[in-house]
Structure formats: C-alpha cells, structure tokens
Structure 1
Amino acid sequence: MSERPVPLPYADPGFVADPFPLYRRLREDGPVRRAVIAGGLDAWLVTRYEDGLAALSDPRLSSDVRDATDPRLAGQLPAFERESLMSSMLRSDPPDHTRLRRLVSKAFTARRVAMLRPRIQEITDRLLDAVVPAGRAELVADFALPLPVTVISELLGVPVDDRHDFQRWTDAMLVRGERMPDPAVVNEAWQRMRAYLTAHLGAKRARPGDDLLSALISAHDEEQRLSHDELIAMTFLLLVAGYITTVNLIGSGITALLTHPDQLALLRDRPDLLPDAIEEFLRYDGPVSPGIARFAREDVEIAGVTVPRGATVLIASAIADRDPARFPDPDRLDITRRDNGHLAFGHGIHYCLGAPLARLEGQIAIGTALRRLPDMALAVPPAELTWRPGGLRGPARLPVTFAAGGPAA
C-alpha cells in the first residue's frame, strides 16, 4: 500500500461525473487506502466489500465525530453538526444510539410506511400530470426532487408554504466538494432551520396530529423520551435523509436506464423486475459516494493494515459495491441481478431506518415514469449531464424528452 494519500479530485468535472474508474484503481491498489477527501481531510478508505461489511459492524469504529483526532475536522464542523447531529442516531454509539433507535422505531413503523403507498402514487401522478403535455421535462426539479420533499414534509406535518425554505436551508448545509462551503452561509442556514424546527415542534406539542413528528414527540420507553435537542436532531435528520438521498436514487436510477437502453427495454417489458432494479441502482450508482465515515476508537487492523486511533475511516460503499470478489461483472448494470446485498444503506446497527420508504418511493416514481413517459430519452448527451459534487451523489439536472400526452395514470 502506497503511503502517499490519493486526493479525490472534486474540482475535476470528469471525476464528479464518473468517479468509478478512479474508485476501481483505488480498490485494486489495496483494501485500505489513504486518501484526501472533501474539505482536504485525510481518511482511510476501506475499498473492498467484505472488509467494508465487517467495518460497518465493528464497535471499535465509532460514529461519534468526537472520537476523531484530526483537529481540522472539528474546526470544519459547521454549527448544525456540532449542535444537532451530535444528538442524532447518525453520530451516536450505544447505549445512546440504542435508546434513540428504539424510540424512533416506535414512531417510524413499517405499517406507517406501507400506508403511504396510495399517497406517494397520488403525488407522483400529479407531478407527472404537469409535464406530460409538454413532451419534455427537467426530471430533477420537476419530479425527482418535489416527490420526496412532499412525502417527508407530509410525514412530518410541515405545511406546504414552508417546504421551499427547509429545502433551501438543507441544500446550503449539504453542499460539499473540493473546498468546504462558507461557514457563515452554512451556519446561517442552520440557525434558520433550528428556529423553524423549534417553533414547529412547539406547535405540534400544542396540537398533535396524525403525523410522524407528533408520534416522535409522544414516543417513550420506560419513561424515557426524546429530549428537545434529540427531537430537533431527529427531525432534521429525517428531513435531510428523507429527501436528498431519495432524490438521488430516483435521478440516478432513471439516468442509468436511459444510458442502458437494453435494461430500459427489459424493465418496460417486465415491470415485475422493478424491486430488483431499485436494488441494482443502489449498488451500481448509489446516492452516497464514496461512503460512510467512522472514527477509530483505538488502533484497528483492517485487512492487514493498522489504522491509527482517532483516524477518519471512510467505508467506501460506492467502491465496495463494485467489488468483483462480491459481485460478478460489477461494472455492468444488470436489473436481473440476484443476491444483491449492497452497502448503499449501510449495515449493522446504523442500517438506514428510512430504507423501506426510499425503496417504496423509488419503485413508485421510476415505475410510474416509465409507464407514463413513453419514448423517454435524454435531451442532452450523457457527457453533458451535471452531477452533485462530493458526498451525496446524483444528477443535478436531468433534462429528458418523451412522447407528449402519454398514457393516463
């Protein structure tokens, strides 16, 4: 293994559009590879599937950023991470994580998600109704983005008039690339978001409704409840995780189909393959790239490499999910692929709580778009598509054409 860290070139549009050639070289170079990631931070990339799977369940690798020793990491943390995510499941370990997960699971049940299917279909059809007559659309702004924003907003009881604001604040906080965003802009967005969530929680306490946020407020376990800070953190986490990753799943999934006409034709002919197709989109080009951060509580040996205590460990799910030792012909999109145990939603105790909702939205959105937008094709060459830089991966814009006035819902 080379000792010189490899910089991930976020300033290179070619890398942002297609990071997988470099990812493949990193995996071939060794199972654990030092790299310079977004913001100029040093990290140890875990690039192979079996090592990544084990690392995601290794208690020596913490989710709590306070276990990191790189002083630049703490210095670059914006206020929203210091004040909010530290109180969330995303950045906590047992026993705090166990308590938080148990309480939230009481409110965010499989039954609640399953009951959303008719409403998700209704929102999907309404959004497509607006673009079908034109024969062209920008599928991120017109479809992939407003669908999950509307779903998670309704789930949390966020009024229609407030959704644009929380989406704008979230986008400001999540921008990543070669350089870190302006801390003043990020912190201002967080302060506005926090003030809004505090007021919204107060309103829900006074007038509970049949929504997830009201259920979170009342969730308790042996007299334990979510504190105010934990409720703020959980609401923020659900807002963010509930929409941006699903936007990317829908956008990347449709892009994958439009750039692989054989797979598009197969899915049109066999809509029963849609659940398998969603899993393949998640494996092939998932919404988180390169992966999931952890912090070494002690010196940890991974695949024969000693990672020092306090180091940032990036379990590179986007690289591991194309590991040929786990997935035959991994660089090929194959919607018939079975045994597709990808790492896009993580693994272990931190496995994504919202995975069932993301899968449901992805199936409904992509399946309905294929049915209602016949002859759908990219409106620009694939090389002209723009992609989100760093961390959360998906097309920033997705212009398409199709036969105007497609079939009814």
Structure 2
Amino acid sequence: MAAGTSASNLDPALIFEIDVNSDAFKQRWMDHMTEWSTRPPFYAVWDETVMVMVGRHADAMEVFSDRERFSVELPARVGFERFDKFYGVEVLTQKDGADHDRLRRLSAPAYGPAAMRKFDQEMSRILDEMLDVLPTDGSVFDIVELFGDHLMVRIMLDGMFRLDERQRAVFNQMRAVIPMATTLPPGAEFPQVYVDAFTATRATIHELIAERRASPGDDIISRLVHAREDDDQFTDKELHDAIFTLCATALQSTVSAMSGLLIALWKNPDQLAAVRSDRSLIPSAVEEGLRLHGPALFTFPRFALEDTSVGGTPIHKGMIVRVAPAAANLDPSVYPNPLTFDARRNPQKTLSFGWGSHICIAQRLARMILNRSLERILDRFPTLELADIDFTPTYRGQAGELVPASIIMRIPPARP
C-alpha cells in the first residue's frame, strides 16, 4: 500500500471493505448515504487503498473548509493513478494555495451574473429546440436519452463555447473515456484510447485559444482568453487547464443533477403539483433536488497534510479523505425528515457543489441551467408524467457519480 494508507495501525472496528465502483453500491446508494449521514468518519478499503469516508454535514464542512489540514493536490504515489482522471491536467479543483486563489480570481468573471445573463436567452432557445423532439402522442420515451444526455453538449459546447461539429466530437470522446480512470488497478497505465482522447482534446483547446485570441466573441472561452486582473492574465497552459476544467466537470455533473431533479420531483406528485401551480417555487425545488438527489456521491479526494482527526476518528498524514456530499445532504440534524422531498424547504448549505474555497466555480451556471430547464419543461409539457411512478432508477457512470441510466416518461395527448 502507498505511504499513509496502511490499515495496520487503524482501529479494525472502523475498517470496511467497500467497492464504491460496483453496481451493487450504486443501486443502494440511498441506503449507504442515509447510514453515513449520522455516523462518524470511518475507514474504507478500496483496491487495497485505505480512505477515510466522511458523511456527516459538520464533518464534511470541516474537511472542506480547512486548507491547513487537508489538500486537494494529488500526491505522486503509486496506486493514486485513479485519482488523476484528468491525465495530468492541473484542474482548478485539484489545486491549492495562492496559485489556486489567483486562477480562481481570473476565472470568476466568466461565470459571474453579467456573463450568465448574456447566455440566458440563447439557453432558452436551445432548450426549446431540444424539447421539440419529445413525443406528445402519449408514447413512452427515455428523457435521459432524448434530453438529459444532450443537455450540456448543446448548451455548453454549442451555445456557450460555439464549437463546430468536429470540435464537439473531440470533447464528447474525452467525456466518454474519463470513467476508465476510476477502474484502473493500482499502478496500471492509462489505456491508449484514453491517451488519444486527451491528446486530441489538448490540441483542440489550444486551437480554440488561438481562434478566440485572434477573433474574440461573447462566449465563455473568449472571456477566459481575455481575462485580466490588473496586469495578470492566464498563460496558455493555464488557459488550457481552465477550459478543460469547465468541460470535464460540468458536462456530466449538471446532466446528472437534472436527471436527479426529474426523479425526485416527479416521484412526488403533490410537490410537482405545487411547483406547477406556483412557479416561484422552482428555485427552491431545484435546491431540494440537488440536496436529495445531487450529481455525485463523493467529491474530489482530499489528502491529510498532518496527523489529525475529524469527528473523533484519527486521520494519519497522507491518508485519502473522501467527503460524501450525498450523505451530508441527508444529515437529519441539518435537514429534518431528510428523505422527504419538500419543494418549499429551500435548503441552505447543501454540499452538492462542495464548500469553502473549492466550491464549484460554475455553480451559478449549473443552477441557472437547472432552473431554466425545469421552467421550460413545465411550460411546454404540463402533463408530463413518469410511465411508472414506482420505478426504481438504475445508475451508470464512474465511481462517485450518480448518473441515472434512464427515466421513462410520457406526455399524454391534450384532450379535445
């Protein structure tokens, strides 16, 4: 085992073998997260690597907020390859210290309120085009296949990045291979298809940087390319990594959150009826969907910088610490009746986008997309329903993701 991850000096009563990448774990995610939401941190062994799993809300906030004890920067250790799923790209979510803070300041205006307002009208147009393909004759369809899986490709790659068909194909291939990283055995090399996808993505991003530098527009890439703070600006490598960060993190997470919202809201017809009759509840319903069925079970790992403890559980220097926001969002000490979807709850301090200095920089964008998507779906299809309200979702995606595989729905035809 890698240094700092040995189980030999840990309390055996707190050690559990858990395959977080297994289908069985994903299918029972709610049971696991409900249990973790009230228990102190414990040790999980996955592929011979020991990790500290953190589920309670207060413990999660402590890990997220303390940069002196916990770092997101990946140590160069054999067996940690699975955590380098972006193949050496220095994404903002895995950087710390002054360098992280500087890059975040440079990036922030591209995701600010003014920038988001510029994209709002274009987003509504794209959403309506996507919703046009849903059948309205009462036949069943998979809304994940027809709408969810294309949501961020259309909004981000088409509307916000203004990519052409060839460029979109490169980013989609990169998105497709990323889950391979979490299944790598300790010490294994990345497969060639993974290497090829990242090589093509790197070349395409540098091509886009050159294009936007020569002919800037009002898209997000142009905003990043021309970002300035006093005399500071991105280097070409930093620009590449900033653009990659946005694509790699947002393309899947927002799609997963949208599917989770559809499941959570449509499985609660009384709450759905309330939102349909009072559209001012949409923002609260979105937040409740993010709380009850967010996009991820775990966030990027942290690494202990010193011997410490959280919630009474000892953590040794070098250990991997995994926060489970899906568990923290179910903590009954923070959210009473946590398994109940309440469109009026308007939950605060949910951790689906992280917390502290590493809170998702694109969270405003994700929330805007979720709000606008729900609004347009309710406007266009007031009778949209689940084909089977009692269906049990199945899940796909890489370890830590919560990606519904399908949601079968129907739109009953309008009565004459």
Same fold (TM over 0.5): yes
Aligned to 2:95: 92
Is the Cα contact below 8 Å between 2:136 and 2:411 reproduced in 1?
A: no
Provide the residue aligned with 1:11 in structure 2. Answer: 22
- Mapped partners of 2:61, 2:85: distance in 1: 31
What SS does the corresponding residue of 1:44 show, helix, strand or coil?
strand
**1:183 matched to which residue of 2?**
190
Unaligned 5+ runs, structure 2 = 1-10
Deviation at 1:402, TM superposition (A): 1.1
With over 3 angstroms needed to count, the CA separation of the structure-2 counterparts of 1:337 and 1:228, relative to structure 1, is: same
CA distance in 1, matches of 2:414, 2:177: 36
> Corresponding residue for 1:251?
259
Do the aligned partners of 1:253 and 1:281 also contact (CA within 8 Å) in 2? yes
Distance 1:330 1:336, change over 3 A: same
Please say if 1:295 is aligned against 2:298: no
Distance (whole Å) between structure 2 residues aligned to residue 301 and residue 207 of structure 1: 52
Q: Are 1:353 and 2:382 matched, yes or no?
A: no
Gaps of 5+ in 1: none
Aligned residues: 397
Question: How far apart, CA to CA, are the structure 1 residues paired with 2:380 and 2:49?
Answer: 45
Partner-residue secondary structure (3-state), 2:169: helix
Asked if 1:403 is matched to 2:406, the reply is: no
The corresponding residue for 2:113 is 110
TM-score, normalization: structure 1? 0.89
* Identity among equivalent pairs (%): 26
Report the Cα offset of residue 119 of structure 1: 1.3
TM-superposed CA distance for 1:50, in Å, is 1.0
Alpha-carbon distance, 1:240 to partner:
2.2
For residues 167 and 64 of structure 1, the distance between their equivalents in structure 2, rounded to whole angstroms, comes to: 26
Distance 1:40 1:186 in 2: 24
1:219 Cα deviation after fit = 1.5
Q: Paired residue for 1:156?
A: 161
CA distance in 1, matches of 2:308, 2:163: 43
Deviation at 1:176, TM superposition (A): 6.5
Partners of 1:258 and 1:188 in 2: how far apart? 40
Looking at structure 2, the residues matched to 386 and 90 of structure 1 have their Cα atoms a distance apart, in angstroms, of: 25
Residues 5-404 of structure 1 correspond to what in structure 2 (within 5 A)?
Answer: 5-13=16-24, 15-28=25-38, 30-37=39-46, 41-59=49-67, 60-66=69-75, 71-73=78-80, 75-76=81-82, 80-82=86-88, 84=89, 86=90, 88-135=91-138, 136-153=140-157, 154-175=159-180, 183-184=190-191, 185-379=193-387, 382-383=391-392, 385-404=394-413
SS at match of 1:329: coil
| Distance in 2 separating the partners of 1:156 and 1:392 | 24
* 2:4 aligned residue: none
- Residue 295 (structure 1) shift: 0.9
More helix by share: 1
TM-superposed CA distance for 1:168, in Å, is 2.5
1:179-221 CA-to-partner distances (Å, cap 9, x unmatched) read 6698213222211211221222222222222222122112122
Q: Larger deviation: 312-321 or 17-26?
A: 17-26
Give me the whole-angstrom Cα distance separating, in 2, the residues matched to 1:117 and 1:41.
44
Report the TM-score when normalising by structure 2.
0.88
